[in-house]
Amino acid sequence: MSATFDGNGSTYEFKPDRPCPNCGKLGIYYLGTAVLHGNPYSPAADTEVEHYYKCEHCQYEWEVFI
């Protein structure tokens, strides 16, 4: 997955093969990524990010902390 590191709402990319954790239907939107700590462009860095998603079926929004 390519990430957009400008935070929640920085992109609106459809992911047709990903299911919603709330309703289970396929087809969610990736809304962007926020860098909480570190450098996401350096594989050796200790980096913490949050990826943001939204389901258009049930309007559920969530984030995944990595």
Q: Please report which confidence band the pLDDT of residue 1 belongs to, taking 50, 70 and 90 as the band edges.
A: low
pTM here is 0.86
Tokens 């200790």 locate to: 46
Q: pLDDT tens digits, residue range 18-51?
A: 999 999 999 999 999 999 988 888 877 788 899 9
> Hey, what long-range contacts does 20-26 have (CB within 8 A, 24 or more apart)?
20/55, 20/57, 20/58, 20/60, 21/60, 21/62, 22/55, 22/58, 22/60, 22/62, 23/55, 23/57, 23/58, 23/60, 25/55, 25/57, 25/58
